[in-house]
Chains A and B, each alone.
Chain A
């Protein structure tokens, strides 16, 4: 009896300590970036182009570029990913094609992102002739996030109890109506969380944009989807490793990291807010 209680207490303490450790690590990383980066954050930094070998000025083109890449890759990966997720969970539960897609997506999500970059360069930049462009970068990033989008959609749909589908079908609803009016609204809070998290992933990736879109230094904004852009993660890489004067652009690097982390943090907060909002809404109407 006594020893059971003790091992119980030890296990509990251990779990608690570990989760505290995680928090500490997270706070350390954030604190480090914030304390070093916050000094350079001001209006100019957020709204001006880089100047003087990227040791001065701001990162506005990189923010805009990242923003475009998020939109572009989402336009590509969301519709395709959501529709294949729906197909796999709702239509092809037991067939060979679905399990083949499932195996492929699982493998795809394990492929290093630099490989996506290389593939994107070969296919979009060269073969299809898009050149280094927002289009090529978006498609490459979209490919990268596709497995995540498919998987979240599938998992979210799987979590919906079959009794709701049967209830709808038993009332004479078609399968499509059932999916549209019952299943998707219920799965929506979870799907949207997954989508937003995939945006977080996309906004932080460097390797896939390296050979497909990212400009080393391009102080003006793009005019079309065939233009190159700067992007935050690549900009951070550039000014940390190969700027004209690495030491004096250090502060800019931390500032850029700070902005990037903030964006991802905001995206994550947005995800949980939206999730709660839609979860409530689904229950209410």
Chain B
């Protein structure tokens, strides 16, 4: 079964047609990179997968999105349940003004888990999976705001992993970070692939080619090309894709 299956997706911000007939399939435990010039609809598409766009007034979607075979836009779908399955890491690190521990425990608590031992175990495990443990193990009760930007972003990843999603969406997760933090996040994505299906938006071509199995190239709301990352970067079918990855525009 496909993990993500978007069929004939069109999306509008009021009158503005932001996504045009997108068809995209993702298999389990793959990493897909979304690339394309600013404003082409990458974030919009990503936010369709956990229904984050619902928060914006005046938006409209047609077509369907299936996550593990389930239509997430079907009537009766609970958005909060969906978002447990489809986690999201944002461009700018956005930890809560709480302790490091509570940041990671948050998703568990709001989902009704109160078993202390379970929470503690899961928090530790998630922080370890996010490759942050060695740096924070002695200060779990300190404010998350005291961490560096790179650490905060890994904390946000840990927070997302804690609720055991099936899919992890990342919207330019390293764009606000220094090269070393970026490298750490990339390594992390490579590790996470074993357990999660990941979709990542990036402006960094090297990053896309390093971390992803498949790459989708978006342009002006259309998905121009979607193929194995190797093919996209060595032998794209479309001229537009080639121009973009070789830096001739965008």
For A93, A163, A171, A186, the residue with the greatest tally of chain B CB atoms inside 10 Å of its CB is A171
A216 to B43, CA, bound (A): 67
A175 to B55, CA, bound (A): 10
Whether B99 pairs with A285 at a CB distance below 8 angstroms is yes
A233 → chain B, closest Cβ, in Å? 39
Known: A171-B163, A172-B83, A172-B163. A177 touches B110 (CB 8 A): yes
Interface of A is mostly: helix
A282 to B99, CA, bound (A): 10
Residue-wise interface mask of B (91-127) relative to A, using a CB-CB cutoff of 8 A (1 in contact, 0 not): 0101111110010001101110000000000000000
Contacts of A182 in B (CB 8 A): 96
B145 → chain A, closest Cβ, in Å? 6
For A94, A161, A168, the residue with the greatest tally of chain B CB atoms inside 10 Å of its CB is A168
Contacts of A161 in B (CB 8 A): 94
Residue of A nearest to B96 (CB): A182
Whether A169 pairs with B94 at a CB distance below 8 angstroms is no
Contacts of A169 in B (CB 8 A): 52, 55, 80, 83
Residue of A nearest to B109 (CB): A181
Residue of B nearest to A167 (CB): B94
Contacts of A166 in B (CB 8 A): 52, 55, 88, 90, 94
Q: Is B156 an interface residue (CB 8 A)?
A: yes
* Complex interface residues of chain A between 145 and 192 (CB less than 8 A to chain B): 161, 163-164, 166-174, 177, 181-182, 185-186
Whether A285 pairs with B94 at a CB distance below 8 angstroms is no
Q: Is A283 an interface residue (CB 8 A)?
A: yes
Whether A172 pairs with B81 at a CB distance below 8 angstroms is yes
Residue of B nearest to A163 (CB): B94
A185 to B72, CA, bound (A): 32
* Complex interface residues of chain B between 61 and 99 (CB less than 8 A to chain A): 80-81, 83-84, 87-88, 90, 92, 94-99
Q: Which of the four size classes fits the interface of chain A? A: 20 to 34
Interface residues on chain B, number (Cβ under 8 Å): 30
Number of A-B contacts (CB under 8 A): 73
Q: Is B197 an interface residue (CB 8 A)?
A: no
Known: A174-B110, A181-B110, A284-B143. A167 touches B96 (CB 8 A): yes
Residue of B nearest to A280 (CB): B143
Whether A171 pairs with B97 at a CB distance below 8 angstroms is no
A42 → chain B, closest Cβ, in Å? 47
Residue of B nearest to A160 (CB): B97
A103 to B83, CA, bound (A): 36
Q: Is B57 an interface residue (CB 8 A)?
A: yes
Residue of A nearest to B159 (CB): A171
A237 to B80, CA, bound (A): 58
Contacts of B97 in A (CB 8 A): 185-186, 282-283
Contacts of B81 in A (CB 8 A): 172
A171 to B52, CA, bound (A): 11
Q: Is B215 an interface residue (CB 8 A)?
A: no
Whether B106 pairs with A168 at a CB distance below 8 angstroms is yes
Whether B96 pairs with A164 at a CB distance below 8 angstroms is yes
Chain A residues with CB under 8 Å of chain B are 93-94, 161, 163-164, 166-174, 177, 181-182, 185-186, 282-285
Nearest first, the 4 A-B pairs at minimum CB distance are A171-B107, A172-B84, A173-B110, A163-B94
Chain B residues with CB under 8 Å of chain A are 50, 52, 55, 57, 80-81, 83-84, 87-88, 90, 92, 94-99, 102, 106-107, 109-111, 143, 145, 156, 159-160, 163
**9 extra interface residue pairs, beta carbon distance < 8 Å, beyond A167-B96, A173-B107:** A164-B96, A166-B55, A170-B87, A171-B107, A172-B80, A174-B80, A174-B110, A181-B110, A285-B98
